[in-house]
Amino acid sequence: MQLFNRLPGFTRTPPGMERTVLRGLPTALWSGTLLLCLPSLAIHAWAWQTDSAETLQQLAMIDIYAVSASILYWNVLLTAAIAAFIVMVMKGPAYVADAYPLDDNDAPPCKR
């Protein structure tokens, strides 16, 4: 007995845009995160010798913005990855569950 029974005669759909999205996700993750953290890194490189309390507070605020934007970006990419994965699974082969007779059906049992 097989665990999954494929539906006979089902034609598999060729891969489409979901594969392109899934292949581009690692590059989008690293490049997007770098671009979102670049302003924070540039400000820290520019103001690395200042000890003013106001400047340090602004640096902390910029860091908080960079981290929050990065987390939002990661959530967007995760949502896109889940959607592309669902489309990829739905385009796969169709499976059929094993049929079983119902005990409480309204029709009389048929003769075989």
Residue 4: helix, strand or coil by DSSP? coil
pLDDT value, residue 112: 60
- Asked if residue 12 belongs to a domain, the reply is yes
Which residues are CB-contacts of 62 (< 8 A; sequence separation ≥ 6)?
39, 40, 43
Count of domains observed in the chain: 1
- Asked if residue 77 belongs to a domain, the reply is yes
Counting every residue written for the chain, the total comes to 112
- Asked if residue 56 belongs to a domain, the reply is yes
Cut 0.75: pTM above it: no
Domain encompassing residue 79 = 5-96
- Asked if residue 107 belongs to a domain, the reply is no
26-70 residue pLDDT tens: 999 999 999 999 999 999 888 877 778 888 899 999 999 999 999
- Asked if residue 102 belongs to a domain, the reply is no
